[in-house]
Amino acid sequence: MITSSFNCAMDGLCSVSAASAAAARPALLSFHFQSVVHTSPLRANIIAVKVPALCASRTRTMLGCTSASSTITTPTWEQLVTELGEHTQEPFRLSHAKTRLFGSSAPTLTFYRDNSSWCPYCQRVWLQLEEKQIPYEVEKINMNCYGKKPDWYLEMIPSGLLPAVKLGERVIPESLDIMMILEQSFPQHKSLLPSESSPEKKAYVSILLKQERRLLGAWLSCLRGGMWGSMNSFSKALDDANTSLMKFGGPYFLGQEFSLVDAVYAPFLERIAASSPYWVGVQVRGTDRWPALNAWFDAMDTRPAYQAMKSDDFTITHTLEPQIGKCRLLPEGAAYRAKIDGKDGSWSLPLKPETTAWGYDDGTGVGNAKQEAAKSLINNHEAIVKFAMRAFVNFEDSTAASVDEGFRIVSHALLTGVENVRESSLNLSKDVALAAAYLRDRVGVPRDLTYPAARQLRAHLQWLVKSLGSDL
């Protein structure tokens, strides 16, 4: 799989410099919160806009670009830190964890994975490590399109591919090899393979693993639209997966217990369920056609390890083309696209209730979703404003100051509610909407935020965009 991503050390936000990103991908002016994604024609309108100077005088203060009343009513970042108050406790985010000890004193291996949490081959190993609770440390590596990988990684893994695992002195590439070796090397941890006493299941593992490759191939050719009949082949591959899931009664591939087979299927089934409606209008999850697949998705959503690393439909669909190449946009997908992209109003406040892997959300956010989003924005505001300024080719300092103010307004609204934001403080230039939309479209799950927090942040940025009179 060809993958691309910006090098990103994200405790909230992107660390890649514009210069290195441009060097890596000169053709792409628009890139992600932490990574390049928007080759999508749907989002082409937010790329590279020349912005006129907003303030006549550079002698105004950093906040002086807006009306006098807004400088009074918009809290400073310091005030927002105070407003965060007791919410300063960082929620645990698996995608940011550097070590996972599970009660042990030291990691037993090093897991090399991509720094954007996009790589499906990394995800399957990640899920296995978490399910088995093998103590590990994480080393995040950039993908090729954002520059050369570190020399030490290329010396260790000449192909440069991810994932890899270092177990003692042994370096293991290839996800499936890694997974099998982990099963053998950690017998004291929960086995994810059937025992000798289940020969039928044992024999079925390799059949299922081959079937997963066929499903992947059918999905890719359906999305890319290469072959005549690719839609039928894809549906047939889904039929096969559905039938396989019934063999041992489900909800997992080998019956009631989660196994290595589920870890192997999870990353691609997750991508399939998000992308197939979006690009080609094939709804995979939530239809009567594939009930055993529905039951599998539901069962997976109850697993904390999977929930912590699962992505969302928007992130998946908007990071797919940089990884697999151009996909075909069929008219049958239009309604799904509108929903996933928030174009049908689904990103507007008040958010509609929804039930997801993270639980039932009445629209106000599950758990501390708003605080999580606000905290990320407040604690990383300098990097975030800098990142969002990439929406412009050229800009004045005053534009950056206005964007800074816009993001303070969003933070404040996340903490206190949009109804508590004074209308006068929304007297910002419409150009701020461009930066807000740019950021809104680049919030990634799980890399940046959990899904409930990302949903809130997108919606509050969307609220700012709308409030500024923009329909971006």
Ligand X SMILES: N[C@@H](CCC(=O)N[C@@H](CS)C(=O)NCC(=O)O)C(=O)O
DSSP codes joined into one string, 368-389: THHHHHHHHHHHTHHHHHHHHG
With CB under 6 A as the contact rule, the residue among 3, 244, 307, 380 that binds ligand X is 3
State the minimum distance, in angstroms, from the CB of residue 10 to ligand X: 17
Q: Which stretch binds ligand X (CB under 6 A): 115-123, 292-300, 328-336, 337-345?
A: 115-123
Binding mask 409-448 for ligand X (x = CB under 6 A): ----------------------------------------
Question: Would you say 330 and 279 are in contact if contact means Cβ atoms under 8 Å apart?
Answer: yes
Q: Which stretch binds ligand X (CB under 6 A): 89-97, 118-126, 183-191, 338-346?
A: 118-126
**Closer residue to ligand X, CB minimum distance, 121 or 258:** 121
Residue 110's φ and ψ, nearest 5 degrees, are -110, 130
**Closer residue to ligand X, CB minimum distance, 117 or 244:** 117
**Closer residue to ligand X, CB minimum distance, 175 or 456:** 175
State the minimum distance, in angstroms, from the CB of residue 272 to ligand X: 15
State the minimum distance, in angstroms, from the CB of residue 271 to ligand X: 11
State the minimum distance, in angstroms, from the CB of residue 16 to ligand X: 15
State the minimum distance, in angstroms, from the CB of residue 119 to ligand X: 4
Q: Which of 108, 114, 100 is nearest to 167 (CA)?
A: 108
The whole-angstrom separation of Cα 40 and Cα 333 is 14
**Hey, how many other C-beta atoms are within 10 angstroms of the C-beta on 325?**
12
Q: Which stretch binds ligand X (CB under 6 A): 74-82, 129-137, 156-164, 373-381?
A: 156-164
Contact between 119 and ligand X by CB under 6 A: the answer reads: yes
**Closer residue to ligand X, CB minimum distance, 163 or 406:** 163
**Hey, how many other C-beta atoms are within 10 angstroms of the C-beta on 1?**
12
The whole-angstrom separation of Cα 268 and Cα 212 is 9
State the minimum distance, in angstroms, from the CB of residue 259 to ligand X: 18
Q: Cis omega (within 30 of 0) on the bond before 331? A: no
Question: Would you say 73 and 404 are in contact if contact means Cβ atoms under 8 Å apart?
Answer: no
The whole-angstrom separation of Cα 62 and Cα 99 is 40
Contact between 121 and ligand X by CB under 6 A: the answer reads: yes
Binding footprint of ligand X, residue count (CB under 6 A): 14
**Closer residue to ligand X, CB minimum distance, 97 or 176:** 176
Contacts of 155 (CB under 8 A, 6+ apart): none
With CB under 6 A as the contact rule, the residue among 160, 255, 281, 342 that binds ligand X is 160
Question: Would you say 48 and 29 are in contact if contact means Cβ atoms under 8 Å apart?
Answer: yes
CA angle, residues 230, 236, 241, in degrees to nearest 5: 130
State the minimum distance, in angstroms, from the CB of residue 118 to ligand X: 7
**Closer residue to ligand X, CB minimum distance, 1 or 335:** 1
The whole-angstrom separation of Cα 319 and Cα 38 is 7
The whole-angstrom separation of Cα 393 and Cα 4 is 23
Tokens read off for 74: 């918009």
**Closer residue to ligand X, CB minimum distance, 216 or 308:** 216
Binding mask 162-201 for ligand X (x = CB under 6 A): xx----------xxx-------------------------
Report, in angstroms and rounded to the nearest whole number, the Rg of the chain calculated over CA atoms: 23
**Closer residue to ligand X, CB minimum distance, 70 or 175:** 175
State the minimum distance, in angstroms, from the CB of residue 457 to ligand X: 26
State the minimum distance, in angstroms, from the CB of residue 147 to ligand X: 10
**Closer residue to ligand X, CB minimum distance, 143 or 282:** 143
The whole-angstrom separation of Cα 159 and Cα 40 is 29
Q: Under rule CB under 6 A, which residues in 24-53 are in contact with ligand X?
A: none
**Closer residue to ligand X, CB minimum distance, 121 or 314:** 121
With CB under 6 A as the contact rule, the residue among 110, 144, 283, 416 that binds ligand X is 144
Q: Which of 62, 85, 136 is nearest to 368 (CA)?
A: 85
Contact between 143 and ligand X by CB under 6 A: the answer reads: yes
**Closer residue to ligand X, CB minimum distance, 209 or 292:** 209
State the minimum distance, in angstroms, from the CB of residue 121 to ligand X: 4
What's the Cα-to-Cα distance from 213 to each of 126, 217, 260, 262, rounded to whole Å? Answer: 19, 6, 15, 13
Per-residue buried b or exposed e for 407-429, using 16+ beta carbons within 10 Å of the residue's own CB:
bbbbbbbbbeebeebeeebbebb
Contacting positions for ligand X (CB under 6 A): 1, 3, 119-121, 143-144, 160-163, 174-176
